Structure 1
Amino acid sequence: MSNLIETSAFKWARLIMSFPTRSIKVMWLLNELNLPIRDISKETDYSSLNVEQDSAIQVRFVRLETGEHMNPLKNPHPFHKVPCLEYQLKGEETKHVLFESNAILMFLLENFDTEKKLSPSTSVYRTGLRYQIMMWVSSSLEQDISPAMKIFKTLLQKKGLNIMNKHLLTFEPEEKEEFDKASAIIRESYLPHVEKLLSERDPNSQYLFDNQVDIADICLGFGLKGCDTCGLLDEKLYPNCKKYYGIMCATASHGKAMQQMMKMFTESLSK
């Protein structure tokens, strides 16, 4: 594992997260950076966690459905949301709190991606497009897919299905009308835009810019995850989106992040 934490300015750093939320992006990045992670979700003596030096990123899973994220001892986010990063620097007594997923991503890159592998400044175009994708995914794609995801998940629950067998879902005419209305901007504007963007890449590139994962890839991959969750990534309509999303899901960092989060989620059910 990386020793970047030990050699950094941090005494300790602690991620408060939940699943499925934008925390996925942060966990994905932590694993892409190969940073060690220590699950502290079961700790009850919080004062003992503020150690002089922790060589791993502390991760606390909080259950949203039980209101655990509202406890300021477990989640210092001023608005009780996740993800949230709490940290203390060497030589300081003050604890700092950082929120907003993109801010956390950029902060982690600034401090732990010392070689700028995930955010290289190889061209003005690449830098601009990186920022655009990161901000657009958060402000538009993630926001506008939420209504369709809510309807889709409600229908799955209503019909005794789940994400694993969502392909069995059939819509009644009024259900289809409601879902189509909620997902219209995704199908008619957002996915065609991403499809065009991906089609204009170098054909030899696996990812957005080349064959090295960029932070923009993690953000776009997460945004497409919502589209795929509710069955909108139609391979016939958006072949490049579907292929790209599959490549992003196949990255070792994504697989590890999802395993870690599912393990924490499962263990949280027995608390």
Structure 2
Amino acid sequence: MIRLHHLNQSRSLRILWLLEELNVPYEIVSYQRDTETRLAPPSLKTIHPLGKSPVIEMDDKVYAESGAITELLIEKFAPKRLRPAVDSADYGTYLQWIHFSESSLMLPLSLKLFIKKAGVLDNDFLNAYIRQEKHKLLSYLNDEVAGKSFIVGNRLSGADMMLSFDLIVLAQREALEDYPYIKQYALQLASLDSYQRAMRLESNYDQST
């Protein structure tokens, strides 16, 4: 049995969706963000030293990092269905998008949140950097998903699941209006049954709403 240590409103949403899509038995252990600091509770550190989510327990081992967990679960349960073949032309592109959401796109999104929390919204340098970097990255993504339902090979993959959390953040900030192809892509992902099941679970476990 897989055990998902799930923090509300976190990157764990990616793994929740993936597990629903895989349709394998799993258990959710729910955690809630501190309503003031928005940080994870200390109890998560009893599972993994970093005290972050997602974390899964599988085969008597503990794994952190949503990208690594996504690749592990797909390799174990759906390598032919949720990723391109290793010897295919799409495999390198798939790996690129698996990591894009955390290595490139998440930085300006996180910085926007941090400067708001820190009360430094009037920092000209940071604001200019965030605005320019976000526009560069979203323009790139917008071009890549034009006319596509999925980011790689026109079929659902782990890359879509990794991007999904970033798109939720952007939609909450109403930041997709200038990027119509991303918006269309996000709506397509949101229409999938497994995605909707995951969002219902998130809503049920999220005590802040």
TM bucket (normalised to shorter chain) is: 0.7 to 0.9
> Structure 1 residue 109 and structure 2 residue 74: aligned?
yes
**Equivalents in 2 of 1:189, 1:68: separation in Å?**
31
CA contact (8 A) 1:62 1:69 kept: yes
1:225-251 deviation line (CA, Å, top 9, x unaligned): 2222212111xx311111111111111
1: CA distance between counterparts of 2:107 and 2:152? 25
* Change in 2 beyond 3 A, CA 1:244/1:262: same
Between the two proteins, the alignment pairs up a number of residues equal to 202
Distance across 2 between alignment mates of 1:211 and 1:252 = 17
**Superposition TM-score, scaled by structure 2 size:** 0.83
Q: Is residue 81 from structure 1 mapped to residue 46 from structure 2 by the alignment?
A: no
User: Cα 1:149–1:125, aligned 2, differ >3 Å: closer, same or farther?
Assistant: farther
CA distance in 2, matches of 1:122, 1:212: 16
Indicate conservation of the 8 Å contact 1:62/1:68, yes or no: yes
Unaligned 5+ segments in structure 1 are 1-11, 36-55, 89-94, 155-173
Amino acid at match of 2:78: D
> 1:61 offset after TM fit, Å?
0.7
- 2:190 aligned residue: 249
Equivalent in the alignment of 1:146: 110
Structure 1 SS opposite 2:47: coil
1:100 aligns with 2:65: yes
- Write the letter of the residue equivalent to 1:108: L
Aligned to 1:120: 84
Unaligned runs of 5+ in 2: none
- Bigger radius of gyration among the two: 1
Instruction: Calculate the TM-score normalised by the size of structure 1.
Output: 0.66
Q: Aligned letter for 1:224?
A: L
Relative distance call for 1:240 and 1:33 in structure 2 (3 A) is same
Q: State the partner residue of 1:135.
A: 99
Instruction: Please report how far the alpha carbon of residue 182 of structure 1 lies from its aligned counterpart in structure 2 after TM superposition.
Output: 6.3
Question: CA separation of 1:226/1:179 partners in 2, compared to 1, >3 Å: closer, same or farther?
Answer: farther
Partner of 2:9: 20
Distance in 2 separating the partners of 1:84 and 1:103: 10
3-state secondary structure, aligned to 1:71: helix
Whether the 8 Å CA contact 2:7–2:40 is kept in 1: the answer is no
Larger helix share, 1 or 2:
2
Partner in structure 2 of residue 225 of structure 1: 168
Q: Which amino acid aligns with 2:83?
A: S
Counterpart CA distance in 2 for 1:143 and 1:75 is: 27
Q: Is 2:149 the counterpart of 1:206? A: yes
Partner in structure 2 of residue 190 of structure 1: 137
- In structure 2, the partner of 1:170 is none
> Which residue in the other structure is 1:3 paired with?
none
Give CA-to-partner distance per residue, 1:107-151, whole Å, 9 cap, x none.
Answer: 11121115x211021864311111111112112212320132456
Q: Return the structure number with greater relative CO, CA threshold 8 A, min gap 6.
A: 2
